[in-house]
Amino acid sequence: MRVLVPFANDEPKSRLAPVLSAAERREFSVAMLCDVVDAIERVGYDPELLVPEPLDCRAEGADSAAAADVGERLGSLPATVDDRPLSAAVNAALDERTGAGVEQAVVMADLALATPTALRRLFAAGGDVAVAPGRGGGTNALVVRDSGFSVDYHGASYRDHRRIAAEAGLSVAVVDSMRLATDVDEPSDLLEVLLHGDGRARQWLIDAGFAVDDEDDGRVGVRRS
């Protein structure tokens, strides 16, 4: 299985701007990417990055030792550089390898709750296409086993991907995973990372002062000290 991880770190996670600065969002995005890469490797596959420009994590302004560690970690991964929009870049990468028996996966870089167990369920799901829907209509992870399929990540891509598969006569397996459904886009998603994460992204949030906030009215949020 070839496993692609698209990642863009120029202006990431703008919807987290109410709670994180631009530099913090870049650091946190890299932490999530590291967690995703770790989980894929622990399943036994070698992730390939798909980036709009060469990745230089050490230039991102993070503090020294941790940043050097992360830079080395990510710098050692194979990477395809393609500056087109996400769907075009993914489709081009998928088209590089086609043929009988070729299995390719696309796993988003902001799945901070991804575990080897959850990814194994995705990779083992049947179907010409296997989809892990994201909350909010997106597609957080895919396995593609037929070159008749192409991606279109804009908008309600889960629905679009099912339609694209159906129009090509391809079967679709849907993976029911809260972990894979949780892409981290909004401040409320940080709570999920604090509660269910166990990697660098969760540690980054804790080091940045975030904690679970059990409010008096029974709702749960995050606070930053």
Binding residues for a copy of itself, rule: CB under 8 A, are 115, 117-118, 133, 135-138, 154-156, 158-159, 176-182, 188, 191-192, 195-196, 212, 214-215, 218-220
- Closest to a copy of itself by CB, 66 vs 156, is 156
Amino acid letter for position 224: R
Q: How far is the CB of 99 from a copy of itself (least distance, A)?
A: 32
- Closest to a copy of itself by CB, 1 vs 173, is 173
Both tokens of 201, joined, read 């992204």
Amino acid letter for position 211: A
Q: How far is the CB of 123 from a copy of itself (least distance, A)?
A: 15
- Closest to a copy of itself by CB, 73 vs 196, is 196
Q: How far is the CB of 7 from a copy of itself (least distance, A)?
A: 18
The span from the CA of 75 to the CA of 205, in Å, is 23
Between the alpha carbon of residue 195 and those of residues 33, 150, 192, the distances in Å are: 18, 34, 5
- Closest to a copy of itself by CB, 128 vs 189, is 189
Find, among 138, 134, 130, the residue nearest to 114 by Cα. Answer: 134
The span from the CA of 29 to the CA of 74, in Å, is 12
The span from the CA of 65 to the CA of 218, in Å, is 40
Q: How far is the CB of 73 from a copy of itself (least distance, A)?
A: 26
Q: How far is the CB of 169 from a copy of itself (least distance, A)?
A: 22
64-75 and 22-43 helices cross at what angle (nearest 10)? Answer: 50
Q: How far is the CB of 24 from a copy of itself (least distance, A)?
A: 23
Report H helices in the chain. Answer: 22-43, 64-75, 86-96, 116-124, 157-167, 178-181, 187-196, 200-207
- Closest to a copy of itself by CB, 97 vs 154, is 154
Q: Which residues touch 216 (CB under 8 Å, ≥6 apart)?
A: none
- Closest to a copy of itself by CB, 70 vs 142, is 142
